[in-house]
Amino acid sequence: MTTAVPRVPRFPFSAVVGHDDLRLALVLNAVHPGIGGVLVRGEKGTAKSTAVRALAALLPGLQVVPGCRFGCAPDAPDPECPDGPHAAGGTGEIRPAQLVELPVGATEDRLVGSLDLERALSEGVRAYQPGLLADAHRGVLYVDEVNLLHDHLVDLLLDAAAMGRAHVERDGVSVSHAARFLLVGTMNPEEGELRPQLLDRFGLTVEVRAARDVDTRVEVVRRRLAFEADPHAFAAAWDGEEADTARRIAEAQERVASVRLDDTELRRIAAVCAAFDVDGMRADLVIARAAAAHAAWRGADAVAEEDVRVAARLALPHRRRRDPFDEPGIDEQDLENALRDAAEQADPDPGPPPPDGGGGGAPRDDPGQEPADAGAGDRSGTEDERGGQDGAQDTDAAADPARAEPHDHGPDGPADTGAPADRREPGPDTKPAARPTGDGPTRAAPPPTTPFRAKRLEVPGIGEGAPGRRSRARTDAGRVVRPADPGSSAPRRAADVHLPATIAAAAPHQQARGRSGAGLRLQRDDLRHAIREGREGNLVLFVVDASGSMAARKRMGAVSGAVLSLLRDAYQRRDKVGLVTFRGLGAELVLPPTSSVPAAQARLTTMRTGGRTPLASGLLRAQRVLAVERLRDPRRRPLLVLLTDGRATVPARAGGDPVHDACRAAELLAADGVHTVVVDCESGPVRLGLAARIAVAAGGPLVTVDELSADRVTGVVQAARAA
């Protein structure tokens, strides 16, 4: 006789040390699932997953229709339930709230469900196999590393969470079923950000980081070790607090529908959202629902200002991103200022103003402007730092005239030093600057010009790399282009079956198989695999010429703006990016290939310019970087974007010709199968066309900085059509 092994309990929700905002956000969503879920951002090892998994144990049990795979409630079953119809008021059974985990490698049919292939082949019926959305109905759907999930799956997930229903139209199946669940996603920002459009779909967000207080860290370790030593005893010690929290959640769930939200608080919510200049109306709705949930959680009958404050603090940080590279976050003082200003608008009839015409109290900055200018302090600080650097450079130049101007410049004139033009004009007491040798001076790159919408640069051919939005590739999700050749591997999913080819393969054998009636007899050998074509993400390696000739006439500002535009494009197309710069006597890998595109932007803003042009060294360094990445991720195809004017001045070998060596390095990249796009940054009345020679050697296209703009290309096409 075997003895059942007791199930190891989860770490208690009440025993999680700190992380008050995380626990509160989870509780508010449990009270009011219409809030839209929680996105938990934070560094690794901060108990994000532990807290989420512990919450499910606190949710009250569910009354479900017996045998219903979609968890319908007996008193109000889903009228469109695929397992229905169910009679309202029938007998139900108790089932614990489900915690469903969506793995990063999940496919669309696993998420939303698909045709039951086994029943279709064995019984000849078109049956629906539910997915994880059906399992999560009235429970918790947990997505760890949500930023690594395929974009189309995130869209499906958030659509279902927002509408409360899942609509399935695939494989000849048309199904709609209820899918109301508490959506929780966790992510580590170091591994890449979610796009702002997807961030906005999460109701609340919480930033989690490990405590820096020694006592708190000691308590975390103490509790974890105690749990690992005896999980049952540890859980039993917290049973009282767990039961109290579960009771409060159940009471708040019953109370939340009756919580009043007066016009005064609605106006406060609208004023705060307007002050922070958030897009759309989703933030207003989320704050209203979260404020009602918080009022129910604290046992109140009506929403008050403190509820709005808590809801806004959790709902606004990830909606303040005006740019893909902006860091989510909210300043507490900005929020207090916005709430203080909103108080004046909360009362629709505030009465006559004071005699002095003022609003009373100490003067303050306009809180409506502060949120819109969020980060201005950071920008001004950066400018001050840059100004300080420029000042230091000017002082150094005065002390050492040899550093007053870069060594390498072309027909465009001397290289830009980053100083104002009036400082570069020789005065009556100005001595001629000696011409430096070697690496030349180091200058801060001028600020980038306004970024633009970049046109898509693609790697030719068909790849099979990581899903993305840049180059054509064979993928698991995409349009069907043709059936696989006979003898290829049999499809494992209904979505992988090429039905016309399968029927065509089985049709000639029906008489031999004793077919009777209208049915079609299939065998495994008849199945044909569908070849799907979609898009993949690439490794985009930027090789940027940061020499003195590029800094001439502030061309580097335009080049930096172009790189920033291409980085945004890479961010949206889910690429990995790397950055190589070359100047002076060599090349530097400024940013190893990474999925964190904002990191590349940060490195770009600190790039230094000046000196000679070792173009060949830059291309050879890029070749070595790509060779290493090919071993790490052989399926991800590289796209090299070279931004240069082509004026190479440093050969790769002693006594060599700089331009010839650069062309030879470009040929080596082409021999490795690297697709190279050369962006010609040359400007001015005298143009040597050296970048074109590099493009020919690399076997890739040549474009100018202006031609990188998709808007400009679209405008040219429209003008041509109109003509």
| Helices vs. strands in the chain: H and E counts, helices first | 25, 21
**DSSP string of 469-506, one letter each residue:** EEEEEEEEEEEEEEEPPTTSPPPSSGGGB-HHHHHHHH
d(CA 450, CA 441): 27
**DSSP string of 87-101, one letter each residue:** -TT---EEEPPPEEE
647 - beta bridge partners? none
Given a contact cutoff of 8 angstroms between Cβ atoms, the answer to whether 501 and 483 are in contact is yes
Q: Tokens 């054509």 sit at which residue?
A: 472
Amino acid in the structure at residue 456: R
The conformation of residue 256, written as its DSSP 8-state character, comes to G
Strand pairing category for 467-483 and 530-536: antiparallel
Is residue 85 reached through a cis peptide bond, with omega within 30 degrees of 0 on the bond before it? yes
CA distances from 48 to 5, 144, 207 (A): 28, 9, 10
Given a contact cutoff of 8 angstroms between Cβ atoms, the answer to whether 502 and 549 are in contact is no
Out of 69, 138, 268, 282, pick the active-site residue: 282
Q: What does the block give as tokens for 528?
A: 């044909």
d(CA 498, CA 526): 10
DSSP run (H or E) holding 284 = helix 282-297
Q: What does the block give as tokens for 692?
A: 């074109």
259 - beta bridge partners? none
Q: Locate the DSSP E strands across 620-696.
A: 638-644, 675-680
The contacts of residue 23 (CB under 8 Å, 6+ apart) are 13, 16, 51
d(CA 234, CA 289): 35
Three-state DSSP state, 528: coil
* DSSP3 helix / strand / coil % (the chain, rounded to 5): 45, 15, 40
Residues shown for the chain: 723
Given a contact cutoff of 8 angstroms between Cβ atoms, the answer to whether 145 and 102 are in contact is no
Q: Tokens 């009282």 sit at which residue?
A: 240
CA distances from 714 to 701, 707, 711, 723 (A): 19, 10, 5, 14
Given a contact cutoff of 8 angstroms between Cβ atoms, the answer to whether 186 and 145 are in contact is yes
Active site residue 282: yes
Given a contact cutoff of 8 angstroms between Cβ atoms, the answer to whether 415 and 406 are in contact is yes
Residue 147, classified by CB atoms within 10 Å of its CB into exposed (0-12), middle (13-18) or buried (19+), is buried
Q: Active-site residue numbers?
A: 282
